[in-house]
Amino acid sequence: MTFKSLPVFALLMLGGCSLIPDYQQPVLPVEAQWPTGQAYGGQRNQLSTAAALPQAKKFFKDPALVRLLEVALDNNRDLRIAAKNVESYRALYRIQRSERFPTLDGDTSGNRTRLPDDLSPTGDSRIDSQYQVGLVTAYELDLFGRIQSLSNQALEKYLATEEAQRSVQIALIGDVATTYFLWRTDQALLDLTNATLTSYVESLAMIEASTAVGTSSELHVRQARTLVNQAQAQHALYTRRIAQDMNALQLLLGGKIPTVLPNSSPLAMSAIGRVPAGLPADLLLNRPDIRAAEHQLLAANANIGAARAAFFPRISLTASAGSASSDLDGLFNSGSDSWSFAPQISVPIFNAGKLRANLDYAEIQKDVSVATYEKSIQTAFREVADGLAARGTYGKQLRAQSELVDNYKSYFGLAQQRYDQGIDSYLTVLDAQRELFASQQKLLNDQFDQIDSEVKLYKALGGGWSVSQN
């Protein structure tokens, strides 16, 4: 290395000084532990922090649902869009990262110019020719880290998009599971309605026959027919809901529901696993939407570094080397070597406050990103707390509702017995039958709500699909 090249080498070594503010992760704006109290089952949510969140293939026990999840993860259009967004931001990062390195281009040019005689020093017109071929390189010395800051910003945006893709996947898993269990619940409600409607029709026929011989009145007929009409309306409702559930499921799957599915598990909590109750609140930091918000915060932090660096001089080095000649066939002759070296320093002097405003904007955007990050954590904490409250209460609710169904079954049996013995009118039987039907419907809906609450809790904690299990 010659002495003359030392200053250039020293400038290259100075490159990369960063003006990015030191990053401090915001303090969690939530409690360190989940809520406790009567709705949360006492201290049951404060177990060992060693508990792990199961992957979707282990969490969902229903073979048919697992198969549907596999189809959805392969075909869902939202997931495809998210994947393409990741690829596009990866490309943008590569574009920005390339600015940290010198460019090298091959350059070939030719020029022929006619000079009129009144402009020629000799008084005679002439034609000048110039041909050139060579390599051109350009490089900006990143003395104050402007390019490095922009590269970091692009990287964080890429990583945020990658986390956003995981968020879409987790949302898809939860939506498919919820829609599947709703579909199964509506099918169970339709089966219950069909059985009840058959019983109502038989009761109506019996009362009409009794009215014909004078042992029942028209009032009894109207009341029995009312129950039939109500059951018919319920039948139409659940038939429609099943069709809509299938349409929603097909949209999530990105295609038709497979005609052959594995046998389904019973519609109960046994169809899914149980989310560990002792997970610490800081587990929320593993949620992809929160990780994406933090990457956006880091990107905003890096942008401040780029805005700060814009106040300082920018030094660009441009050099070329090759061959030049006035004749095309003389380009590579001896003595045709040519080179140029053109350093350029650009110093901001007056820009009407543009750079200051740009820095202010970058700092404000960071504050917005901090607030967004904190709001994401608070929202996630609320979702998990709601799930824990649901877990702490749905068990009691279902036990009470199951006992209510059993009581109405006994009530219906006793009413039928007293009618057969001539003690009560058939109106008592119809009333008991109506109450039994309503309690059975409520029990099925409560079972769905309990399953759905556990699915939402799993989703709120960031549960997803393990790639290694595919």
This prediction's pTM: 0.83
Output 182 or 264, whichever has higher pLDDT. 182
- Which residue in 290, 308, 20, 18 sits closest to 159, CA to CA? 290
Per-residue pLDDT at 52: 63
**pLDDT exceeds cutoff 70 at 221:** yes
Per-residue pLDDT of 150-168, as tens digits, reads 999 999 999 999 999 999 9
For residue 175, pLDDT over 90 is answered with yes
Mean pLDDT of the chain: 86
In whole angstroms, what is the distance from residue 277 CA to residue 388 CA?
A: 8
For residue 426, the model assigns a pLDDT of 83
Kindly report, residue by residue over 326-341, the tens digit of the pLDDT: 777 777 777 788 888 8
Instruction: Give the pLDDT of residue 264.
Output: 85
Calpha distance 64→43 (Å, rounded)? 35
Determine the pLDDT at residue 49: 42
Contact between 202 and 416 under an 8 Å Cβ cutoff? The reply is no
What's the CA gap between 27 and 35, in Å, rounded? 19
Which tokens is 57 given? Answer: 């293939």
Query: What is the predicted pLDDT for the residue at 7?
Result: 46
Residue-wise pLDDT tens digits, 369-409: 999 999 999 999 999 889 889 988 999 999 999 999 999 99
- State what percent of residues in the chain have pLDDT above 70: 92
User: What domains appear along the chain, each with residue ranges and CATH number?
Assistant: 7-100+144-312+353-469 (1.20.1600.10), 103-141+313-347 (2.20.200.10)
- Residue 354 and residue 311: Cα distance in Å, rounded? 10
Q: Average the pLDDT over 462-468 and give the result.
A: 69
pLDDT confidence band for 278 (50 / 70 / 90)? low
- C-beta of residue 330 within 8 angstroms of C-beta of residue 202: no
pLDDT for position 206: 86
Which tens digits make up the pLDDT trace of 37-48? 788 776 454 433
Both structure tokens of 121: 């020093």
**Widest pairwise Cα distance in the chain:** 137
**What's the CA gap between 429 and 282, in Å, rounded?**
56
